[in-house]
Amino acid sequence: MPPPTYRIENLVHRYNNQPVLAVDRLEIEPASIVGLVGPNGGGKSTLLKLMAFILRPTEGTILFNGAPAAPFDESVRFRVTLLTQDPYLMKRTVFNNIAYGLKVRGDQEDWTQAVHAALTMVGLDPNIFSRRQWNELSGGEAQRVALAARLVLKPRVLLLDEPTASVDAASSELIRAAALGARSEWGTTLAIASHDREWLYDVCDEVLHLFKGKPAGTGRSNMIFGPWIPEDNGRYAKLLGNGGRMTVSAPPNADATAFIDPAAIRILGKGETASSTDSVSVHGTITRLSLEKRRGDLFADVRVGPLTLVVRVVESHLAAMTLHRGWPVTIAYRPENIRWR
């Protein structure tokens, strides 16, 4: 059995002595797709830069294909590549930007053919774009050229840091297709940081939540930010703006972040009221139904005021009720099931 592509152990990274990332253990299997989600400043970009061997971790080890690796090591050059959110291109033509990686690798093959194939993969016509200068491209085109510059290397690992955050829908679609194409064509391992959770849940083998520089669980999870207002009954609530409130048990502080598992929330059937075990219920609207890739579980996104909560729909409930987008529902949960960070 081959070693995992990445084995990260006791990793700590600091900027100016301030810890920004701490991962006790993380393994990523070859040819898998791993998603990273979490709020800005959660450590996603730092983790990707460490995995790309652009940064050296302050503490801990990162094993690549079973062996320790560091920036500029021959074992990771040309095998691991990172695409950042900002489509930075060098001040040269599109062709030379894409061929740069082949040039520094000393590749003897036909660069023209390889560059044209990479441009085609990201949906850009090589005859039109290869001679353009770096400053003659739109934001979406520049991001696709930047991705082509990575794809031309046929990398073993492609790390994408919010690759579609600043591009239009059409470019976004092409970037996603090209990235997934790398996995299907060359068995490339993908790690993708994105705020587009639904895309990640659709395509990833595993989705890791990063919060305040630490892993905060995998899979679908609900993250609810404070502030929490104390109530008379000793509990606390988040005001939802529409007169509603989301009640929780005592948080560690007023600005703590609540995590609640989708399986810990249930949709009440018609005429059903919250039982004694579900001491809290709130009203919402179904905005999306989705099927999880690995286990085949069905999830409903329920809009509650400004929040969208993911709820796992159990089979017995599914048979008893009809669920559609736009359907009003009541959801119930136990405040005791909330975890705090």
Partner 1 sequence: MDFIFVGFIEAFSLLLGGDDQTWSAVAATIKASSGSMVASLILGVPLGFTLGYFDFPAKRQARLLVDTALALPTVFIGLVVYAFISKRGPLGEMGLLFTLPGIAIGQTILALPVVIALSATAVESMDRHLRTLLISLGANRRQLLLSSLWEVRYGVLAAGLTAYGRVMTEVGISMMVGGNIKWHTRTITTAIALETGKGMFATGIALGLVLIAIAFGVNVCLSFLRKK
- Contacting residues toward partner 1, per CB under 8 A: 49, 52-54, 71-72, 77-78, 81-84, 86, 88-91, 100-101, 104-105, 146, 149-150, 153
- For 276-316, give the DSSP string: SS--EEEEEEEEEEEE-TTT--EEEEEEETTEEEEEEEPHH
Shortest Cβ distance from residue 19 to partner 1 (Å)?
21
Residue (154 or 245) nearer to partner 1, CB: 154
Which amino acid, one-letter code, is at 127?
A: N
According to DSSP, the β-strands at 236-239 and 280-291 are: unpaired
According to DSSP, the β-strands at 33-37 and 206-211 are: parallel
Residue (46 or 171) nearer to partner 1, CB: 46
Shortest Cβ distance from residue 241 to partner 1 (Å)?
38
Task: State the Cα–Cα distance between residues 243 and 118, nearest whole angstrom.
Answer: 53
According to DSSP, the β-strands at 157-161 and 189-193 are: parallel
Residue (34 or 149) nearer to partner 1, CB: 149
Which two three-digit tokens encode residue 160? 């994408």
Residue (92 or 339) nearer to partner 1, CB: 92
Shortest Cβ distance from residue 107 to partner 1 (Å)?
10
* 80 alpha carbon, distance to own chain's centre: 18
Shortest Cβ distance from residue 29 to partner 1 (Å)?
22
Task: State the Cα–Cα distance between residues 328 and 331, nearest whole angstrom.
Answer: 10
Taking residue 259's Cβ as centre, other Cβ atoms within 10 Å add up to: 19
Residue (136 or 198) nearer to partner 1, CB: 136
Residue (83 or 137) nearer to partner 1, CB: 83
Residue (157 or 310) nearer to partner 1, CB: 157
Task: State the Cα–Cα distance between residues 190 and 198, nearest whole angstrom.
Answer: 17
Shortest Cβ distance from residue 157 to partner 1 (Å)?
11
Task: State the Cα–Cα distance between residues 308 and 220, nearest whole angstrom.
Answer: 12
Q: What are phi and psi of 13, to 5 degrees?
A: -130, 140
Residue (90 or 128) nearer to partner 1, CB: 90
Task: State the Cα–Cα distance between residues 212 and 207, nearest whole angstrom.
Answer: 16
Shortest Cβ distance from residue 267 to partner 1 (Å)?
44
Shortest Cβ distance from residue 9 to partner 1 (Å)?
23
Which two three-digit tokens encode residue 145? 């050229």
Shortest Cβ distance from residue 305 to partner 1 (Å)?
38
Asked if the peptide bond before residue 227 counts as cis, ω within 30 degrees of 0, the response is yes
